[in-house]
């Protein structure tokens, strides 16, 4: 009997026992679909995090003032332990072009009242000169907040394109002075307009009560809040995207280690959030593999079900086996017939399982998008969830289906092959 004849007989046997064949496949379907779903979730989560953080270059080197480990008698950080502007400027001068200061400081919500007594609410935040490029926002008119604005605590500001359309629909707002009221009352001169696609779409659709950010120099924000702007306990730096962030992190760490070597109480720890993201992605991989292995246990149960049904099939077809052996069928041919049938059952079950797993994964991906848009629309704008099936998991699933068929079909096949043709012919 050729291999193709074995396949033909396997499908013929399955057609005769459709319900039994499906129930036999069920364990394989559940196991494979679980593995595919878990691996796809892991791959999708990994790609989403990677694209949202590493892919956009939106990673930072964070400088944190901490107590030295060997000083148990000193319990708090004081002003003299803080990172100063001179230290930051020294780092920039020593390594020009390697870092941008992107520290952000939320001030409060404020209100702008126009000459027509129309009120517009704004969120006021203090930024450093590098924040706009770090946050992937573009200044479309005028200029950005400059280092001079920051150092001189100038009353300058960046406003959104939507606010300009609200406040002054017929002429540019650049160069105009606006008054902010609320927790803090002060005036700023608009020096630039930044684009905001989401709020612009809302505005064009007719929504008028839209709250956007107005950005002022970080030092002005600190001055208004009454906090010192010349010292920092925490600093965010954007590394040059063309250079290795790990090297730049070590470079910054070495710089501050030298500055703080005589400080008995405090130190500065440089932390690369891109590296943390990579560690997180590794954890996702490990968890995906672990959960996939747990889900794969059901494949063993499915394999036992296949072996059980194949043993029943051998008993039911004892007379057929006896006739074939009496006509000269070899032991290897009998084995091949039943192993092929077991493999076909597992392969079909595995294929259905792969389809079910992919379908479930896409459904979960769509549900995640809906929930994200509903619960956190601001975050949803910067996160693109694209369901990404694991090709490797699909290939492994197919191979596992074949392997299970061979392993669990071998015992029934051997039993069929060892039958005595005379006893088999007499079986009723």
**Best CA proximity match to 150, nearest among 216, 83, 105:** 216
pLDDT exceeds 70 at position 64: yes
**pTM, two decimal places:** 0.60
Contact predicate 235/253, CB 8 Å: no
> Measuring CA to CA, how many Å separate 78 from each of 133, 233, 260, 263?
32, 9, 14, 12
Domain boundaries, the chain: 3-55+278-426, 83-232
Per DSSP, the three-state class of 122 is: strand
More confident residue, 333 or 29: 29
Per DSSP, the three-state class of 286 is: helix
What is the percent of the chain where pLDDT is above 70?
88
**Best CA proximity match to 292, nearest among 42, 49, 25:** 42
Residue 10 burial (CB count, 10 A) = 21
- Residue 123: left if φ>0, alpha if ψ -120 to 50, beta else—which one? beta
Residue 334 C-alpha from the chain's centroid: 51
pLDDT exceeds 80 at position 11: no
- At residue 53, φ and ψ (nearest 5 deg) are -110, -65
* Cα 414 from Cα 418, distance rounded (Å): 6
pLDDT exceeds 90 at position 256: yes
Tens digit of each residue's pLDDT (9 = 90 or more) over 317-370: 777 777 777 777 787 888 888 888 888 888 999 899 999 999 988 998 888 888
Contact predicate 127/113, CB 8 Å: no
- At residue 416, φ and ψ (nearest 5 deg) are -65, -40
Q: What is the DSSP letter of 98?
A: S
Angle value at C-alpha 198, between 241 and 385, nearest 5 degrees: 65
* Cα 165 from Cα 291, distance rounded (Å): 52
* Cα 68 from Cα 75, distance rounded (Å): 10
pLDDT at 318: 76
Contacts of 2 (CB under 8 A, 6+ apart): none
Per DSSP, the three-state class of 305 is: helix
DSSP E strand boundaries for 218-376: 231-232, 234-239, 266-272
The predicted model gives 169-185 an average pLDDT of 87
């Amino acid at each position: 009997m050729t291999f193709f004849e074995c396949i033909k007989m396997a499908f013929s046997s399955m057609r005769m026992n459709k319900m039994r064949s499906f129930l036999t496949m069920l364990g394989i379907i559940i196991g494979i679909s679980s593995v595919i779903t878990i691996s796809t979730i892991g791959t999708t989560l990994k790609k989403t995090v990677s694209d949202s953080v590493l892919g956009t270059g939106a990673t930072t080197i964070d400088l944190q003032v901490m107590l030295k480990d060997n000083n148990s008698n000193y319990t708090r950080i004081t002003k003299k332990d803080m990172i100063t502007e001179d230290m930051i400027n020294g780092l920039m001068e020593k390594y020009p072009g390697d870092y941008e200061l992107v520290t952000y400081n939320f001030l409060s919500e404020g209100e702008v009242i126009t000459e027509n007594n129309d009120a517009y609410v704004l969120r006021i935040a203090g930024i450093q000169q590098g924040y706009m490029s770090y946050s992937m926002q573009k200044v479309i008119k005028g200029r950005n907040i400059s280092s001079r604005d920051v150092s001189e605590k100038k009353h300058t500001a960046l406003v959104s394109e939507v606010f300009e359309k609200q406040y002054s629909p017929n002429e540019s707002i650049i160069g105009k002075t606006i008054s902010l009221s609320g927790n803090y009352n002060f005036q700023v001169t608009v020096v630039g307009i930044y684009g905001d696609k989401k709020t612009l779409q809302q505005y064009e659709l007719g929504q008028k009560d839209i709250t956007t950010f107005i950005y002022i120099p970080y030092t002005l924000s600190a001055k208004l809040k009454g906090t010192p702007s010349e010292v920092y306990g925490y600093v965010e730096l954007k590394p040059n995207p063309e250079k290795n962030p790990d090297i730049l992190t070590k470079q910054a760490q070495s710089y501050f280690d030298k500055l703080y070597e005589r400080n008995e109480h405090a130190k500065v720890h440089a932390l690369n959030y891109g590296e943390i993201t990579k560690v997180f992605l590794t954890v996702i991989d490990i968890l995906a593999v672990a959960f996939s292995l747990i889900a794969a246990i059901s494949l063993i149960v499915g394999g036992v079900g296949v072996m059980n049904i194949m043993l029943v099939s051998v008993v039911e077809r004892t007379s057929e086996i006896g006739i074939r052996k009496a006509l000269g069928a070899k032991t290897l041919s009998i084995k091949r017939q039943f192993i092929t049938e077991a493999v076909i059952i597992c392969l079909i079950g595995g294929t259905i399982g792969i389809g079910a797993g992919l379908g479930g994964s896409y459904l979960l991906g769509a549900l995640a998008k809906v929930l994200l848009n509903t619960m956190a629309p601001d975050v949803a704008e910067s996160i693109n969830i694209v369901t990404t099936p694991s090709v490797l998991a699909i290939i492994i699933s197919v191979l596992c289906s074949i392997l299970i068929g061979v392993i669990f079909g071998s015992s029934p096949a051997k039993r069929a092959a060892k039958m005595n043709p005379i006893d088999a012919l007499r079986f009723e």
